[in-house]
Amino acid sequence: MDNETHLPQDDITDPSANAYNENKELKAISPPQQQPPLIHPKPKKIKFVATAGLCLISAVIGGLTTVAAVPYIYPTSTVSAISTAKSSLTQVANLTATQTTFPVTQIAKNVGPAVVGVSNFQASQSRLGNSDVQEAGSGTGFIIDAQKGYIVTNNHVIDGAQKITVSLSDGRILVAKVIGADPRTDLAVLQISDTKNLTAVTMGDSSKLEVGESVIAIGNPGGTEFARSVTTGVISATNRTLDIQGEAGFNLIQTDAAINPGNSGGPLVDSQGQVIGITSAKYAETGFEGMGFAIPISDATPTIQQLITSGVAKHPALLVSTDDQYNTYAQSSNKPLGAYISEVTPNGPAAKAGLVKGDVITKINNISVQNSSDLIHELYKYNVGSQITITYIRNEQTNQVQATLGEISSNQ
């Protein structure tokens, strides 16, 4: 909050006070003279009343004239605009009044108990040759269903785990099982059997976010030692894309709320205490600070529901493999960038459309594609069975073809 600035006021001199002092001084040095009576005669008083009445009548007439002239002096459109502005201000005031915001302390108390630590245990070989299961990494998750014990986290938090434990706010450490995990969206759903005294988060709507809104990140940076750490910030941007497996399919939320290793899978919460994102990545290049990213909860929910229902998530696909090493060659050779097809699945959507190895996809429905991440991002906008137009380059010739999107699941 900016500090209040008090500007120094100029010295203000009352001109009437100066005049009074000057007259008094002049009277003091003037010789005594015969002065007329200071009480005005009655006729003067009558004249004053008549003058005052005339002024009052003139003021009334002038006021009525001004009111009558308003439509001519200020056109109707201007008056209407003023009325509209007042109406808009009223609407904004009413809208603001209906939104309940909570202080960070209250949000931390409400949401904190729903945030859990997630530990990934994997087999390791000791120096003596003995195999043992040890903690290989940790992250964060949050409870979305207190009755059934469902917990959401990132896939990369539990990837490769042979055992997963969850630490609750009340000190309990429980073994969790994987209900479903999807590397393509970096989402996973866990479940714990002991559901006693669990607290679930409230889901928000990330589709209505605006840049500048306040947000709170709650997570376990560095493990259980710093469990349920709270950091605050704002939404720095929306619709960000990252060339990272799992995040490439989403328009990510960018925030300056501090996100550190161990925060992955934790909730990003708005000022109403509702989860609007899943913290998943941080821009860690030297010299950059305050650039964290979260998966929008509204975009993640369909995948989460699929994982709970069937244990797998299904996505639209062309069923091709791509290789971005082509772009290094393209840049040095002044050729168009795109998604280079390194392999085509037989009888898949791309194969049926006539695409072959070596083709470079440059557009999906007239939207530019410059690499593999762009291709995934565009394909995930559609449903399985949707028909799309693909622009591609073959032998330095630009071509177009229609393709019907197929399906690929998280366990493929």
Instruction: Give the tens place of pLDDT for each residue, 225-253.
Output: 788 899 999 999 998 988 787 887 888 99
Round to whole Å and give the CA distance between 247 and 334.
29
Residue with the bigger pLDDT between 48 and 124: it is 124
Q: Is 156 a catalytic residue?
A: yes
Catalytic residue (one of 119, 138, 156, 229): 156
| Residue 14 a catalytic site member | no
At the fourth CATH level, the homologous superfamily of domain 114-191 is Trypsin-like serine proteases (2.40.10.10)
Give yes or no: 372 in active site. no
CATH architecture of the domain covering 202-313: Beta Barrel (2.40)
The active-site residue out of 186, 270, 299, 374 is 186
**What residue ranges of the chain are covered by domains with CATH 2.40.10.10?**
114-191, 202-313
The better pLDDT of the pair 227, 293 is held by: 293
Yes or no: domain 315-409 corresponds to CATH 2.30.42.10: yes
Residue from 119, 138, 167, 264 carrying the catalytic annotation: 264
Contact 237, 277 (CB under 8 A): no
Inform me whether the pLDDT recorded for 224 exceeds 90: no
Does residue 123 carry a pLDDT above 70? yes
Q: Work out the pLDDT band at 194, boundaries 50, 70, 90.
A: very high
pLDDT exceeds 60 at position 49: no
